[in-house]
Chains A and B, each alone.
Chain A
Amino acid sequence: AQSVAQPEDQVNVAEGNPLTVKCTYSVSGNPYLFWYVQYPNRGLQFLLKYITGDNLVKGSYGFEAEFNKSQTSFHLKKPSALVSDSALYFCAVRDPPNNLFFGTGTRLTVIP
């Protein structure tokens, strides 16, 4: 069965500092990995995905993620955090044939 783990419930970072939100995965077959962000009282917004190709994937709002096959990780990163990045972030893996399996989420707080 496919699964993802987000080991940190909460990440705090100062505005302007780089941020990392961690995700590890367990899949059978090729991993199709996704990051979503959820703001209060809103649905999930797609940030980026890894299907194949370059291990560094660039997405929306300046976010990027690094796929590491040997460490089975897909960490979300941003070089310089903004206060407006404060939100709940979810890592997800495709659960064949068609749906997504989500992690439990990491709450990011960017401190001014």
Chain B
Amino acid sequence: DTGVSQDPRHKITKRGQNVTFRCDPISEHNRLYWYRQTLGQGPEFLTYFQNEAQLEKSRLLSDRFSAERPKGSFSTLEIQRTEQGDSAMYLCASSLMVGGPYEQYFGPGTRLTVT
């Protein structure tokens, strides 16, 4: 399968703990995006990378959130001191850069539950 993959698929954590999610994009895609989706809503943009550079961050991305893409391939999203309001589906997507706007291809998501 050469699609976008995310790990883990589900994460249950206690409030105050730190969590980290991983995303592996489609190999030839150099753009990578993180979105958050809560129940009954569409995905909301969090941040975006072009290769290893983080070029845009949403105001939704508080200072407890940090994302990296160290070698321009996979990416990690870390949430520190989790809160119950962080419970959501975290989606990763990737796309090509040249030309466009190209469609984004999404992974299956990581569902986070903060208890």
Question: B108 and A102: CB pair below 8 A?
Answer: no
Tell me whether B103 is interfacial, beta carbon within 8 Å.
yes
Q: Is the CB of B42 within 8 A of A103?
A: yes
Neighbour of B108 across the interface among A36, A43, A49, A90, CB < 8 A = A43
Judge whether B4 is part of the interface by a CB distance below 8 angstroms.
yes
Contact B101 A99 (CB under 8 A): no
Give A88's nearest chain B residue, CB to CB. Answer: B42
| Cβ-defined contact, B106 with A104, below 8 A | no
A32 to B6, CA, bound (A): 27
Range class of the B interface residue count:
20 to 34
Please report whether the interface of chain A is mostly helix, strand, loop or mixed according to DSSP: strand
Instruction: Check B41–A100 contact: CB distance below 8 A.
Output: no
Residues of B whose CB lies within 8 Å of any CB of A are 4, 6, 31, 33, 40-45, 48, 50, 55-56, 58, 91, 93, 101, 103-109
13 intermolecular pairs with C-beta atoms under 8 Å apart = A36-B106, A41-B108, A43-B107, A44-B91, A44-B106, A90-B42, A92-B42, A98-B33, A98-B56, A99-B33, A100-B104, A102-B44, A105-B40
Which residues of A are interface residues toward B (Cβ below 8 A)? 32, 34, 36, 41-46, 49, 51, 90, 92, 94-95, 97-105
